[in-house]
Chains A and B, each alone.
Chain A
Amino acid sequence: MSEVPGDLKYSAEHEWVRGEASEGSEVTVGITAYAAEALGDVVYAELPAVGATVEAGVVCGELESTKAVSELFSPVGGTVTVVNDALTATPETINADPFGEAWLFKVKVSAAAELLDAEQYTALIS
């Protein structure tokens, strides 16, 4: 069973959100350990650009593993404020530390998003 930290919120597309996803606040986004495990070794991460507008549940990038390409969805709507550029050189961090060092980007939230809590997300992946 993959780790599901209790202090985060989750999307059905296996992203996590750190911080309160309410209008005007800034949240950090990543993919879950469950998603990283399912992807296999990640070799390339294409992330949205700083300043880009993202929408909840809409594709905003892609994650490529040795075996496949998966679309990356934003769990919240808003404007991208920071992107984790270190992942360009070391995409394998996404497998090694998906909830920590491998955060993907930060978003200034424009509208509150409906997200799952840890218990609901755990039920989803069980």
Chain B
Amino acid sequence: MTSPGSSALSPLDAQHRALDATLTEFAGWSMPLRYGSQIAEHEAVRRNVGLFDVSHMAQIRLTGTQVVAGLEWSLTGLFADMPVGRAKYSLLCNARGGVVDDLIVYRTGVTDFLVIANAGNRAVVVTELLERCESFDVQVEDVSDAYALLAVQGPRAQELLEDVVTDSSVRPREARYFSCHDVTMEGQVGAWVARTGYTGEDGFEILVAAEHAPHVWDVLLARGGAYGILPCGLAARDSLRLEAGMPLHGAELTPERDPFSAGLHWAVKLTRATGDPHECVGAEALTEASVALESWREQPQNAPVDARILVGLLGNGRRAARTGYDVRTLDGVAVGHITSGVPSPTLGQQIAMAYVHPAVASPGTVLHVDVRGRDEVMEVHPLPLYTRPDRT
């Protein structure tokens, strides 16, 4: 669907145009930024349910007798003991330990995995997986163009899925968080549903053949009316994920930063259950980054002047701390920069994520953010900045 000089179109493009969406260029795709008010869309997800088209994300299938070994060499996670029908967040790192992309890995069969990658990293992830799996019996196939990906997110997502899933081995209400399975949806359409998302709410992601996507979208919007559904764009997706403390590749995660300073130590397994090291691309650099982080935490004042770790920030000003703004101590010493920031619709405060020096990374530390020449006061706060009510 991609042609030089023009954006790729989602299989749901006609739906977006019919809804009069404001479209934006994102990672080479023309996608909805918002349909109406971003704040209304954000609130629909927190209170009821929202429907997102995330078909720009890449789907890559890995199969073969050595698929587990290939994935474990390629990514920072371990997959041997992962049951079929489960999902896992993982990272593809370079030899320097930098994050090339963050991914969700679904085990769809004993020797069959599906990897969802960020749209902007589709080519690099496919290339890296092909190269890294070359010496294994693994087939890597980019199946992105064949599918649409929809996200149904919010406290009423489960009720809506119950209505539209006509047949399934596991009913939506019984599906565990980070589980996945095949379903049949209203209209006898086969789909694949995972209880995952990027909003901090309960929710589901639905993978469906591109040609069936408009039908599934229409059914979800029509049935969702009873639950207060709104179609939601990328703007709301960004403010939701930021409240939920979820990093975004290109903002918090880059090939120049290691996962430990981003707080993603839990997604990096340097050691197997047997005690043996987990050999993967970047393992040596990742081990060094892990040791460095440990020492910064123990003696933050002694961390190198350019050491940085990711923190959340909360402020009561009227002006948002935006990407790239400088963060300083109250004495004016530069200690980092903002990676993402928005006015939080849920909290009614300014929220941001920032990389700052370990010495000023403790919760409660008060810092200045240079908002276009004027300092705004913000305070370091543990991530996430928002936790849904039934999780607190």
Contact = CB atoms under 8 A, between A and B. Distances in A.
A binds B: yes
Interface of A: 37, 40-41, 43-44, 46, 62, 64, 66-67, 69, 88, 92, 95
B291 to A, nearest CB: 39
A73 B318 CA distance: 20
Contact of A66 (B22, B318, B319, B343): B343
A92 B40 CA distance: 12
Contacts of A66: 38-39, 235, 239, 342-343, 345
The binding surface of chain B is classed by DSSP as: mixed
Contact of A40 (B34, B320, B372): B34
A37 B345 CA distance: 18
18 contacts: A40-B22, A40-B33, A40-B34, A40-B37, A41-B37, A41-B38, A41-B39, A43-B320, A44-B319, A46-B319, A64-B318, A64-B319, A64-B320, A66-B235, A66-B343, A66-B345, A67-B33, A95-B37
Given A66-B343, A67-B38, A95-B37, A40 B318 contact: no
A119 B320 CA distance: 36
Interface of B: 22, 33-34, 37-39, 235, 239, 318-320, 322, 342-343, 345, 372
A65 to B, nearest CB: 8
The 6 closest A-B CB pairs, nearest first, are A44-B318, A43-B343, A41-B39, A66-B38, A41-B38, A67-B235
A95 B318 CA distance: 17
Given A40-B235, A41-B38, A41-B39, A69 B343 contact: no
A66 B243 CA distance: 13
A40 B320 CA distance: 15
B385 to A, nearest CB: 15
Contacts of B235: 40, 66-67
A69 B38 contact: no
Contacts of A44: 318-320, 343
Given A46-B319, A66-B39, 15 more contacts: A40-B235, A41-B37, A41-B39, A43-B320, A43-B343, A44-B343, A62-B372, A66-B235, A66-B239, A66-B342, A67-B38, A67-B235, A69-B322, A69-B372, A92-B39
A44 B371 CA distance: 13
A24 B37 CA distance: 39
A46 B319 CA distance: 9
Contacts of B372: 62, 69
Contacts of A43: 318, 320, 343
